[in-house]
């Protein structure tokens, strides 16, 4: 009956996850990272094949991260469900639902079915035989509500509703699978521990191939060992005197395999450093892009704001902004929350130390879980310091809260059932409230415009949101509003990508005063064309020079734009402009071939019509000048 109830609880958990995140099946791709991971990735966009799988394993520099397991999952989506965004989103939802179920069973096995926390065991690990059935049901309800709190929290929206966050989901799946296998291996019953240990290593390796931050796995194993470590006093669901097994921990077994885990983690970290510093298509980057004091400050602020929004989940959005080299956004609030948390933990330690409550040390291991799972993403040891805060980074660390909640429930909930029922009812209300808060947050990921408009509502100066909404406004035809947002983004944080978007929008608008602004915006690109990998700024600059009748310069920049390595939009416009520049620059034969190409192969009737008109003029007057 107990196993059946746990299965029913798992199915209910899956239903709640679907109720919240199922809406994402109708969402679109976000232009932030989604294209580079899916339909613009050369070895992913064609689906599953041996050549693509080989490239996924051998290309360690793509987007500055090696994640073959995640890339293969994208290939499977395309091969089985097609290239649409809906399938990618729904696979994310399915993986998140699986993670919620794995977390529920992990809590039940670690904190209910573990003899070291005082529950009587009949046979193998994870098969509890509770003398009080009501305690078992209450434990299951507590584990279910705490797992639902984690799975339905608004902070999960980014990891689940954003296709590019698949790596967080898969990494967590394999981490939880590895920890469950580790618990099975630690039972040491018969020869069953051998395949379980093999499963632990396999899951760890797959987690590292999903995202390199899985290098924290050895420390999570250490946290699990700390939680299971036998101590004197009362802990867990039943008191210590109810234990039937007092076998000491086999420290040599743990230390041996922790050593191997650490070696694998070190290799993963070294590969991650190389990928970060040698991204494909870019110059070599410095590992530390900001000063060490600033990275520490930014990390402390990020942790404080994580903790704040864990309790008060408002202001949650895509892409939290930092100010490189300056005071982080909401820095005072983050540091205040972090300081209050440290004071509260210190006070609890002092109080519980006097009362000799050993549960505090088990909760301390949960804090350790949170810290070691979060450190790889805080930007202290990597090149992405100003991006140290993102809700997707909290996906695995936030599981420390359900762990701590179950430990505290085991310490205080069994003997005080009336109070525990009130606590469980209150937790159910919190879960319902957070579900209601999370629903519109998830809905904001529907499109680029909705996602970054939601961001601007909380952070009006977010340079990335301004750039994306500005670009989307220009694509929708509202050039004036879009150009204004792109200018604001460039004023907040100048970047080559923003320069290209602004120059391209100004080129499309084509007012007399816009050509001089394009020349100013693209001054850096004119001296170093490699800075414009997408070719937008080069095309705008070439068009401005075409208007200014500087034919050689216009032709050179238009050719560079057409050949830009990351150009993923039509080059027909640039080819037509290049034909004008070459004709007027004294190369009529080459120009004629380009006009004919535009007429026959551009795929756009407006450009083909213009090319036909020009060719008709050249038939009558071959030496005439052509003006854009």
List pLDDT tens digits, range 433-472: 999 999 999 999 999 899 999 999 989 989 989 998 999 8
Candidate from 190-199, 329-338, 350-359, 489-498 with smallest mean pLDDT: 350-359
d(CA 382, CA 277): 9
Extended beta strands in 146-194, E state: none
Q: How confident is the model at residue 241 (pLDDT cuts 50, 70, 90)?
A: very low
Closest-CA residue to 337 (of 302, 364, 366): 302
Q: Is the pLDDT of residue 9 over 50?
A: yes
* φ, ψ (nearest 5 deg) of residue 121: -120, 130
CA neighbours closer than 13 Å in the CB half-sphere of residue 165? 27
d(CA 362, CA 226): 7
Residue at token pair 């360690």: 60
CB 232 within 8 A of CB 116: no
For CA atoms 253, 257, 262, 265, give the dihedral sign: negative
d(CA 223, CA 365): 5
Question: Distance of alpha carbon 388 from its chain centroid, rounded?
Answer: 11
List pLDDT tens digits, range 498-550: 999 999 999 999 888 899 999 999 988 888 888 888 899 999 999 999 888 99
Q: How confident is the model at residue 129 (pLDDT cuts 50, 70, 90)?
A: very low
Q: Is the pLDDT of residue 240 over 50?
A: no
For CA atoms 505, 511, 516, 517, give the dihedral sign: negative
Q: Is the pLDDT of residue 248 over 60?
A: no
Residue at token pair 């990020």: 302
Candidate from 5-9, 454-458, 498-502, 577-581 with smallest mean pLDDT: 5-9
Q: Do you know the residue count of the chain?
A: 628
pLDDT of residue 560: 92
118: left (phi over 0), alpha (psi -120 to 50) or beta: left
CB 575 within 8 A of CB 602: yes
Which distant-in-sequence residues (6+ apart) come within 8 Å of 414 by Cβ? 135, 138, 237, 238, 420
Tell me the domain boundaries of the chain: 27-443, 570-628
């Amino acid at each position: 009956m107990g196993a059946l109830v746990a299965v029913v609880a798992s199915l209910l958990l899956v239903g709640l996850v679907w109720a919240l995140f199922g809406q994402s099946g109708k969402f679109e791709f976000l232009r932030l990272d989604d294209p580079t991971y899916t339909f613009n990735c050369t070895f992913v966009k064609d689906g599953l094949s041996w050549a693509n799988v080989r490239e996924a394993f051998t290309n360690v520099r793509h987007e500055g991260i090696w994640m073959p397991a995640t890339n293969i999952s994208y290939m499977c989506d395309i091969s089985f469900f097609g290239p649409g965004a809906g399938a990618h989103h729904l696979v994310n939802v399915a993986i998140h639902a699986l993670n919620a179920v794995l977390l529920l069973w992990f809590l039940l096995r670690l904190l209910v079915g573990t003899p070291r926390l005082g529950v009587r065991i009949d046979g193998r690990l994870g098969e509890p035989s509770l003398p009080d059935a009501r305690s078992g049901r209450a434990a299951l309800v507590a584990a279910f509500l705490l797992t639902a709190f984690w799975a339905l929290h608004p902070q999960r929206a980014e990891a689940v509703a954003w296709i590019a966050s698949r790596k967080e989901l898969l990494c967590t799946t394999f981490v939880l699978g590895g920890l469950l296998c580790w618990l099975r291996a630690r039972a040491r019953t018969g020869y069953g521990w051998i395949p379980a240990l093999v499963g632990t290593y396999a899951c760890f390796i797959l987690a590292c191939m999903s995202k390199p931050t899985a290098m924290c796995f050895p420390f999570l194993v250490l946290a699990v060992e700390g939680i299971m470590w036998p101590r004197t006093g009362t802990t867990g669901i039943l008191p210590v005197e109810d234990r039937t097994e007092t076998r000491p921990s086999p420290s040599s077994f743990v230390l041996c395999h922790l050593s191997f885990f650490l070696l694998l983690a070190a290799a993963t970290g070294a590969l991650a450093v190389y990928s970060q510093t040698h991204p494909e298509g870019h110059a070599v980057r410095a590992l530390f892009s900001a000063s060490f004091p600033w990275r520490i400050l930014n990390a402390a602020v990020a942790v404080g704001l994580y903790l704040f929004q864990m309790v008060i989940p408002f202001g949650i959005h895509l892409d939290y902004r930092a100010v490189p080299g300056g005071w982080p956004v909401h820095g005072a609030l983050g540091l205040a929350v972090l300081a209050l948390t440290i004071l509260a933990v210190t006070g609890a330690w002092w109080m519980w130390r006097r009362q000799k409550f050993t549960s505090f040390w088990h909760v301390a291991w949960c804090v350790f879980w949170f810290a070691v799972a979060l450190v790889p993403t805080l930007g202290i040891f990597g090149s992405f310091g100003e991006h140290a805060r993102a809700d997707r980074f909290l996906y695995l660390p936030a599981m420390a809260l359900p762990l701590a909640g179950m430990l505290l429930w085991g310490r205080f909930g069994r003997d005080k059932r009336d109070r525990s029922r009130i606590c469980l009812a209150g937790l159910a209300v919190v879960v319902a409230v957070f579900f209601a808060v999370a629903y519109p947050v998830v809905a904001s990921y529907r499109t680029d415009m909705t996602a970054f408009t939601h961001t601007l509502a909380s952070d009006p100066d977010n340079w990335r949101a301004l750039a994306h909404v500005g670009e989307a406004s220009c694509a929708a035809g509202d050039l004036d509003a879009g150009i204004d947002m792109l200018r604001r983004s460039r004023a907040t944080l100048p970047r080559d990508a923003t320069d290209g978007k602004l120059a391209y929008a100004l080129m499309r608008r084509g007012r007399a005063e816009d050509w001089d602004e394009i020349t100013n915006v693209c001054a850096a690109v004119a001296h170093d064309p490699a800075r414009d990998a997408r070719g937008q700024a080069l095309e705008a600059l070439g068009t401005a020079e075409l208007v200014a009748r500087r034919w050689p310069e216009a032709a050179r920049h238009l050719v560079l734009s057409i050949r830009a390595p990351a150009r993923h939009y039509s080059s027909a416009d640039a080819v037509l402009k290049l034909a004008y520049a070459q004709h007027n620059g004294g190369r009529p034969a080459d120009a004629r071939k380009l006009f004919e190409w535009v007429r026959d192969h551009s795929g756009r009737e407006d450009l083909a019509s213009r090319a036909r008109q020009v060719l008709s003029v050249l038939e009558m007057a071959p030496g005439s000048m052509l003006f854009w």
